[in-house]
Amino acid sequence: MNPVDGGEAVDLVRGVLPVAQASADNVEVALFPPFPWLLGVAEVMEGSGIKLGAQDCFWEQSGAYTGEVSPAMLRGWCQWVIVGHSERRIYLGETDDMVSRKAAAALANDLSVIVCVGELEDHYDAGRSDEIVTAQVKASLANCSADDSSRLVVAYEPVWAIGTGKSADPEHAYKTMRLIRRVIGELIGAGAARKVRVLYGGSVNAANVESYVELPLCDGCLVGGSSLKAEEFAQIVKVTAEVYGHR
């Protein structure tokens, strides 16, 4: 729920667009403002080549679901949607089944989807990261198929690293992203799994982003708090584009 002012949201986008457009050959940038600011941001981004996404959606097309937003409503101006973010799982009780239904509905409405997975700190400390992440990937992608692979992204966000300033060790991130890609391969086939992008998220900033995007199996980052500072986020985009430009 940031920023709380629509004008600030538009200013933030304007501050990011020049670097995002200049880096378009090497990195795809998508911005995910709160629902009330989507239309205003869409107008500013029109023709820029930068993608627009929503932070969530419901799994039904329409109906008596007060307060919800369907993927059919987003399809007019959004290209992306995030489902299963850990904050929705924690604060709103979203289950893997709900995430799976949301992902399938979004894909059916021609949206590209970022599915978030990640373990709690207790899981990490107990050495259960692989177990938890594997179960989340299998359940959350249960309704996806090989045909969806080019529009499907899985973001590994260890919950203990989100908004805490404690980013995951790159080696742990690499091992977990490798696991995610293997599980996706088991679900939809190895060939299709190679088209699915896997991101890292969790206290990503301009100072540490290179340590993640340089990992062989990391296709980018899902950025939280640092995306609320135009200069910081622009630097993240720039660094990522430089790394991918040399691959």
Q: What is the CB neighbour count within 10 angstroms for residue 42?
A: 16
- What CA–CA distance (Å, rounded) separates 100 from 234? 32
31 forms beta bridges with 52
Torsion of CA 222, 226, 227, 231, to 10 degrees: -130
Instruction: Check if the beta carbon of residue 238 is closer than 8 Å to that of residue 245.
Output: no
116 forms beta bridges with 155
Can you tell me which residue has the tokens 């959606």? 57
Residues with a known catalytic role: 85, 157
CA-to-CA separations, 14 to 5, 43, 177, 226, 227, in angstroms, rounded: 15, 11, 32, 16, 13
Angle between helices 6-22 and 38-45 (to 10 degrees): 30
Asked whether the CA dihedral 10, 15, 16, 20 is positive or negative, the reply is: positive
